[in-house]
Chains A and B, each alone.
Chain A
Amino acid sequence: MSAETVQTIIDDLGALLLFTMIVIVAAGQIYRAIYAVAAQSLLIAIAGGVLAAATGNTDLWVIAGVTLGVKAIVLPWTLHWVVRRMNVRREVEPVIPVAATLALAVVVVVMSFHLSASLGSVQPAITGNALPVGIALTLLGVLVMATRKTALTQMVGLFASENGIFFTAMAVTQGMPLIIEIGVILDVILAALVMAIMVLRVRSTVDADIADLAELRG
């Protein structure tokens, strides 16, 4: 594959990633957000595969495989399981209206494109639009975390944010060392497990969600 083809494919995948992120931000039901984050991880695995084929870096194949297995299948399945287990209401509960979040998302997207356009000297080393898309994904993930009340949707935001960082790292550096990537993935798994157990415990002990803990007095 020529460098230009790779750049085109990564750009296209970036656009699709952005679309899944917008769906996560706008999702009114938690299942939709979970499916969108799974699709996002799948796209990142594809991006990893493309970069691996282009650079001949075998580590990237491993990373793409692990991403596919862990982030596109196991983590969404875990989230799904927690939702079913908890019998939670399936609507996400936003702190501010979803329309306002979408307006903020617009600002974030434009800002991140503006920001990476101002990084004039760095840009040639970077694959196409991967940097602004990665920044936008990361920040939008944080936005989702900040504007949702329920812990599960915040977890979805965290995974999306993590996907953004992963995508940027992969596209910009043409693959980080394997050990770092594996460490990051392990971190994510651990975080997911801890959060899932935490959510279930809080739920079963005091029948409250994370947002209610703000009113906790010692």
Chain B
Amino acid sequence: MTGDRPLGLVLFEMTLLVLLGPLVTGTIQKLKARLQCRQGAGLLQPYRDLAKLLRKGTVQADTASGFFSAIPVLVLAATAATTALVPVVQAGPSAVPLGDALMLLGLFALARFLTAIGALDAGGAFGGMGASREMTVAPLVEPVLMMVVFSTAVAAGTTELGALAAHRGTSWILAWRAPDFLGFAAMLLLLPAETGRIPVDNPDTHLELTMLHEGMLLEHSGPGLGCMVLASHTRQIVTLALVSALFFPVGPVDGASVTGLLLGAGAFAVKILVLATFLALVESSYAKLRFFRVPQYLGVGFVCALAALALRIL
């Protein structure tokens, strides 16, 4: 394997993703507010929230075990590790073997598992409810994500996301084959589920019984909650970066020059903005599904992904 992306670049991309995660959330919230004819909070509001949380003290449930306080750090670590696996400004496999798409999905699953364990550990009713729901949705989302990844990986012959993005080339939609359309459709259906948004989850509320992800965060406070929130921002931007690595062209493979990197960064910003706009539009135009309707919604994604795989293999 020829290493195209040096370790320095990967580290730079990791920092970039973790730092930009809250900005994406801020952008989506701003877009939503504008769509609802509100002024909305500033783009930087998630950063302010994080800074506030990091300054606050911690309160912990009496029933929580010692493991509970380690949960936020572990979740953040698992999520931050995924940022090393997606190409951002430049396509091509990384110089050091870090892992592939399966590793990324595995780390996501680990973070999800830890979050659920933390919620159950604290012993709150809402936490347990959220964890149970999250664990119901997870087995519906993860296999479909894997199948979408596989449907593109079969064509490229690798599951390394950088190499996948390099295989996608720069001609974008003209180079799309039939399975890509179905895979992309499945991905767009899954995107709200994976980023914890309407119609599967509602990121804005801490009050309703319908919440999934937020319910699990209720028992955390102070810096711990800050870590969990930062982890969910990071998870969101990594998911968006995964979509763009699988289906959109990433910067030039041999663009080690400064212009190449700048071009890649600009392209990345545009792609993330487009996907964020999509999420904001979906969230403004649909209501949250009843929980028992969620499997049906995700089933559409499953069938699409399976048809994409069938088109690719059979």
Contacts and interface: CB of A to CB of B under 8 A. Distances in A.
Contact of A109 (B181, B300, B306): B306
Interface string B261-281: 000000000000000000000
B256 interface: no
Contacts of A16: 181
A110 B310 contact: yes
Interface stretch (B58-66, B162-170, B172-180): B172-180
A186 interface: no
Q: Which of B178, B180, B182, B302: most chain A CB closer than 10 A?
A: B178
Contacts of B296: 26, 28, 98-99, 102
A14 B178 CA distance: 7
B119 interface: no
B177 A102 contact: no
B304 interface: yes
B295 interface: yes
Interface in A1-27: 8, 11-12, 14-16, 18-19, 22-23, 25-26
Nearest to B297: A26
A105 interface: yes
A23 B314 CA distance: 22
A106 interface: yes
Interface residues of B, number: 23
A182 B157 CA distance: 46
A141 interface: no
B300 A22 contact: yes
B185 interface: yes
Given A98-B296, A106-B302, A22 B178 contact: no
Given A11-B178, A15-B181, A99 B299 contact: yes
A114 interface: yes
Contacts of B182: 15, 18-19
Interface string B292-314: 01011101101110111011001
Interface of B: 176-182, 185, 293, 295-297, 299-300, 302-304, 306-308, 310-311, 314
Given A14-B178, A113-B314, A129-B311, 17 more contacts: A8-B177, A11-B177, A15-B179, A15-B181, A15-B308, A19-B181, A19-B304, A22-B307, A26-B297, A28-B296, A98-B296, A102-B299, A103-B299, A106-B306, A109-B307, A128-B178, A129-B178
15 contacts: A11-B177, A15-B178, A18-B307, A19-B182, A19-B185, A19-B304, A22-B300, A25-B303, A26-B300, A98-B296, A98-B299, A99-B295, A102-B300, A106-B306, A129-B311
